[in-house]
Amino acid sequence: MTTNGQGTANSDVVIDVRGLNKHFGENHAVKDLTLTVRRGEIFGFLGPNGSGKTTSIRMLCGLLTPDSGEGTCLGYDIRQQTREIKRHVGYMTQRFSFWEDLTIRENLRFIARMYGMPDGAERVDQALAHLGLVSRANQLAGSLSGGWKQRLALAACLLHDPQLLLLDEPTAGVDPKARRDFWEELHALAARGITVLVSTHYMDEAERCHKLGYILYGKLLVQGTAEEVIASQSLTTWEITGTDLPALAERLRLAPAVEQVAAFGNALHVTGSNREALKAALAPPMKEAGREWREVEPGLEDVFIHLMRNADDAPAAAETATTAARKSHAK
């Protein structure tokens, strides 16, 4: 892939990569990652710990070199122009990075000096005002709560006016109000044309993203809007309320057509990928008194559990097939 090295000032595409792979020894951490993210989008990376989210983000911002594949970030080649990428990216790690024995203002001024900003003091004042940190500017960073530390980390990321924010599980360990305020800020930034790529474990945060992707065992399994991701799996979900739901759940888990049974408050969600087979499996318990049944739209959590189950089954199926082939060959 070629690039003119001029960034994305005249382009709607901010991230455009194809076939990225990364190994750590025998561990194939990222497998054939292909991704396009446009200006002003909030793209959510979802997946369990160890799925490859952090490795993917680090390849995109030039901190890791892919073993294979090609692409651009902000119009710069992710292999050859990593220094230029870093100048225009704000990267917020899982662990907020700052000096705990310095105040909020001192932390931000130090970062401004690292970037060589001639107007550093003015930018620090603007960042403090923008993120509501003025009243705490002289408080030591080490004494801040999780939510205020999060604000400080975001202020540090925004100090050099990045075009792209890469946020690695930025809301882990903060309270619900701080999470909500943080996402309000992300949407305000996106409205200004800043692109955001964020990894998260939270389903409610996934629903706040313009687009999202689910990564597991290093492979991006599905991507699109929340509606597109849900529709792509063609799942059927029934909601059940009433009596003796725990015992019913145990029975339903034994039915081959039932892929997942999960409690949602005072209800059960029962999901399967074969609509008719699922309906047939549920027909006998539907006739029992004391419960109400209704078909509902599957949610993102239903989809991601389905994807995880299928991904977990794939290695086992491959191993079974390999074992069977070896036995057949031995005969």
Residue ending a domain, among 122, 145, 160, is: 160
Average pLDDT, the chain: 88
Q: What's the CA gap between 47 and 246, in Å, rounded?
A: 28
User: Would you say residue 330 has pLDDT above 50?
Assistant: no
> What local confidence, expressed as pLDDT, does residue 203 receive?
86
If asked whether residues 268 and 142 sit together in one domain, one would say no
Give the pTM: 0.83
Residue 48 lies in a domain: yes
Residue 36 lies in a domain: yes
HSE-up of 62 (CA within 13 Å, CB side)?
21
If asked whether residues 205 and 258 sit together in one domain, one would say no
Domain count for the chain: 3
User: Would you say residue 77 has pLDDT above 50?
Assistant: yes
Lowest-pLDDT range of 91-95, 142-146, 307-311, 316-320: 316-320
Percent of the chain having pLDDT more than 70?
Answer: 90
Q: What's the CA gap between 289 and 245, in Å, rounded?
A: 12
> What local confidence, expressed as pLDDT, does residue 318 receive?
34
CB 122 within 8 A of CB 109: no
Residue 328 lies in a domain: no
If asked whether residues 242 and 313 sit together in one domain, one would say yes
> What local confidence, expressed as pLDDT, does residue 279 receive?
95
Give Cα separations from 80 to 20, 72, 76, 127 (angstroms): 15, 10, 8, 32
Strands 267-272 and 236-242: antiparallel
If asked whether residues 60 and 84 sit together in one domain, one would say yes
Q: Which residue from 91, 93, 85, 94 is spatially nearest to 15, judged by alpha carbons?
A: 85
As given in the structure block, the two tokens for residue 211 are 């687009």
Mean pLDDT of 217-221: 94
User: Would you say residue 331 has pLDDT above 80?
Assistant: no
User: Would you say residue 220 has pLDDT above 90?
Assistant: yes
Residue 141 lies in a domain: yes
pLDDT per residue over 142-156, tens digit each? 998 888 888 899 999
If asked whether residues 244 and 314 sit together in one domain, one would say yes
Strands 260-264 and 236-242: unpaired
Residue 93 lies in a domain: no
If asked whether residues 270 and 293 sit together in one domain, one would say yes
Residue 9: band (very low, low, confident or very high) from pLDDT cuts 50, 70, 90:
very low
User: Would you say residue 314 has pLDDT above 50?
Assistant: no
If asked whether residues 176 and 131 sit together in one domain, one would say no
Per the model's pLDDT, the better-predicted residue between 43 and 318 turns out to be 43
Residue ending a domain, among 110, 140, 160, is: 160
> What local confidence, expressed as pLDDT, does residue 313 receive?
52
Residue 38 lies in a domain: yes
pLDDT per residue over 235-290, tens digit each? 999 999 999 999 999 999 999 999 999 998 899 999 999 999 999 999 999 999 99
> What local confidence, expressed as pLDDT, does residue 10 receive?
47
Q: What's the CA gap between 67 and 220, in Å, rounded?
A: 17
pLDDT per residue over 97-109, tens digit each? 788 899 999 999 9
CATH of the domain at 193: 3.40.50.300
Domain with 147 in it: 100-160
Q: Going by C-beta distance under 8 Å and a sequence separation of 6 or more, which residues neighbour residue 23?
A: 29, 67
User: Would you say residue 322 has pLDDT above 60?
Assistant: no
How many separate helices (H) and strands (E) can be counted in the chain? Answer: 11, 14
> What local confidence, expressed as pLDDT, does residue 96 receive?
66
If asked whether residues 199 and 77 sit together in one domain, one would say yes
If asked whether residues 297 and 190 sit together in one domain, one would say no
| Residue 103, beta-bridge partner list | 140
> What local confidence, expressed as pLDDT, does residue 164 receive?
96
> What local confidence, expressed as pLDDT, does residue 70 receive?
96
Q: What's the CA gap between 307 and 314, in Å, rounded?
A: 11
Give Cα separations from 114 to 39, 92, 110, 159 (angstroms): 27, 16, 6, 11
Backbone region of residue 29 per phi and psi (left: phi > 0; alpha: psi in -120 to 50; beta: other values): alpha
Coil, strand, or helix at residue 134?
Answer: helix
Q: Which residue from 186, 272, 208 is spatially nearest to 236, judged by alpha carbons?
A: 272
User: Would you say residue 317 has pLDDT above 80?
Assistant: no
Residue 2 lies in a domain: yes
If asked whether residues 174 and 65 sit together in one domain, one would say yes
If asked whether residues 266 and 297 sit together in one domain, one would say yes
Residue 95: band (very low, low, confident or very high) from pLDDT cuts 50, 70, 90:
low
CATH of the domain at 251: 3.30.70.250
Residue 330 lies in a domain: no
If asked whether residues 113 and 191 sit together in one domain, one would say no
Mean pLDDT of 30-59: 93
Extended beta strands in 61-194, E state: 68-73, 76-77, 89-92, 164-168
User: CB pairs under 8 A, 24+ apart, for 311-318?
Assistant: 311/216, 311/217, 311/219, 311/221
User: Would you say residue 324 has pLDDT above 60?
Assistant: no
What DSSP letter does each residue of 58-77 carry, written as one string? Answer: HHHTTSS--SEEEEEETTEE
Instruction: Annotate 269-306 with b (16+ C-beta within 10 A) or e (fewer).
Output: bbbbeeeeebeebbeeeeeeeebeeeeeebbbbbbbbb
Residue 200: band (very low, low, confident or very high) from pLDDT cuts 50, 70, 90:
confident
Lowest-pLDDT range of 27-41, 135-149, 312-326: 312-326
Residue ending a domain, among 194, 225, 256, is: 225
Mean pLDDT of 165-169: 91
Instruction: State how far Cα 99 lies from the chain centre.
Output: 27
Mean pLDDT of 207-232: 94
User: Would you say residue 11 has pLDDT above 80?
Assistant: no
